[in-house]
Amino acid sequence: MATRIRHADDSPHEASGINVTPFIDVMLVLLVIFMVTAPLTTVNVPVDLPSSTQQPAPRPDDPVFLTVKADHGLAVGEDDVTMDGLAPALEAASRGNRDERIFLRADRAVDYGTLMGVMDRLRAAGYLRVSLVTLQGHDDGAGP
């Protein structure tokens, strides 16, 4: 009768598992990256926008915002510009792409003539795709 020699690796109860520690480490690093970059993707120029109850249009990944402040000052993104410096600032912000949509934000206190003057400057600079930005989901009680 032959005897069989048992080895330590012959046990029928082998436990195999996936090491999730590297996965958790990667997820924590991504979480920190998103937490740091999220505040950088917003525009912090204070402006009192009018409101709209219509559904918002989809927003591009890297939008170009032009803001007309209550004092009629202009800002491209968060950088203040003059009316004469508007075209070069938009050129830099849009990386020379005149077909890129410009998101125009204007304070509620800005009159229609000033807003049309800014839009004329946009047209003269070659930017014909302009979207007006409002607050979404609010009805300010103003009639049509």
Residue-wise pLDDT tens digits, 20-67 = 888 899 999 999 988 888 776 666 777 777 776 767 666 667 788 888
Instruction: Provide the whole-model pTM.
Output: 0.55
Question: Is 27 among the domain residues?
Answer: no
What's the CATH code of the domain at 89? 3.30.420.270
Question: Is 14 among the domain residues?
Answer: no
Structure tokens belonging to residue 88: 């070069």
Angle formed by the axes of helices 112-125 and 86-93, nearest 10°: 60
Alpha carbons within 13 angstroms on the beta-carbon side of residue 44 total 4
Domain count, the chain: 1
Range of the structural domain that residue 78 is part of: 51-136
